[in-house]
Structure 1
Amino acid sequence: METTELAVHTGSRAVTDLTAEVTDFCAGRGDGLVHVFAPHATAGLALLETGAGSDDDLVAALGDLLPRDDRWRHRHGSPGHGADHVLPALISPSLSVPVLDGRPALGTWQSVVLVDTNGDNPDRTVRLSFLPG
């Protein structure tokens, strides 16, 4: 298995597109699986259409599901930070994508995205692992 780590600076973005980095990692590797993992307690990964409003819709839906108020028992950090710790139960911190002839076999509108609503920590690591098939 071959693995690399990406340093991702999210800034104020809750959704960060990683498709280009995943595609570059898979280039020349043949057939297999690429596994993407965010080793963080407050971030997840998803396959999502970006640039057409779906990323904003996801952020709005997460705001409805996980409001940033004082209901959370986990209370350190910015107001509502407890919601960030629930996010990975809804959006998994890992995903796998088939790789065919060195390219992720994504659907036409699918992008690999990091979902991170935790503005307290804008610097993330994402691990990419290739499992040859």
Structure 2
Amino acid sequence: MPDAFTTRILHITTGTDETVTDLTHACETFLQESAAGRDGLLNVFVPHATAGIAVIETGAGSDDDLLAALRTLLPADNRWLHRHGTPGHGRDHVLPALVPPHATLPVIAGRLELGTWQSVCLVDTNISNTHRDVRLSFYG
């Protein structure tokens, strides 16, 4: 019988632009290897103070709309008290309050139970940190 708890760390290169990175395929691959057809929960966690996890539609402009909305809500200017790094970097530290650093998702019969247009995404507005770790954990 497979372990009731399995975890893996993904190493993601996000580059020097604000980005929404689709992790759905990596989550599905992890579940194929660890869930073995069981029901359970997938936890997706990014252990960084300036990134988050979102469940959104991608590829039809929603990912760009999310980044545009975040630019409106969290402008990259000098209003932020947290001022190290690139100009406006303080906003990146506020991001996880709006896009949390985690998501817990249902797994049914070893498959991620998402809606038709939903994807699991890493949201990263910190252009100074080009590498992120994302922990996938299955409990079932």
Band of TM-score, shorter chain: over 0.9
| Deviation (angstroms), 1:102 | 1.1
3-state SS, counterpart of residue 109 of structure 1: coil
Identity %: 61
Q: Which runs of 5+ in 2 are unaligned?
A: none
**1:4 equivalent in alignment to 2:28:** no
- Structural mapping, 1:52-71, within 5 Å: 52-71=60-79
- Structural mapping, 1:1-133, within 5 Å: 1-11=5-15, 12-27=17-32, 29=35, 30-132=38-140
Q: Deviations over 1:99-132 (max 9, x none)?
A: 0111100000000000000010010000000010
* Number of positions where the alignment pairs a residue of Structure 1 with one of Structure 2: 132
TM-score, structure 2 as length reference: 0.92
| Deviation (angstroms), 1:13 | 4.5
Partners of 1:54 and 1:102 lie apart in 2 by 28
3-state SS, counterpart of residue 42 of structure 2: strand
| Deviation (angstroms), 1:18 | 0.3
| Deviation (angstroms), 1:48 | 0.6
Q: Deviations over 1:61-108 (max 9, x none)?
A: 000000000000000111100000000011110001100111100000
Partners of 2:137 and 2:18 lie apart in 1 by 25
Q: Which runs of 4+ in 1 moved over 6 A?
A: none
Partners of 1:23 and 1:101 lie apart in 2 by 12
TM-score, structure 1 as length reference: 0.97
Q: Which runs of 5+ in 1 are unaligned?
A: none
Partners of 1:13 and 1:125 lie apart in 2 by 16
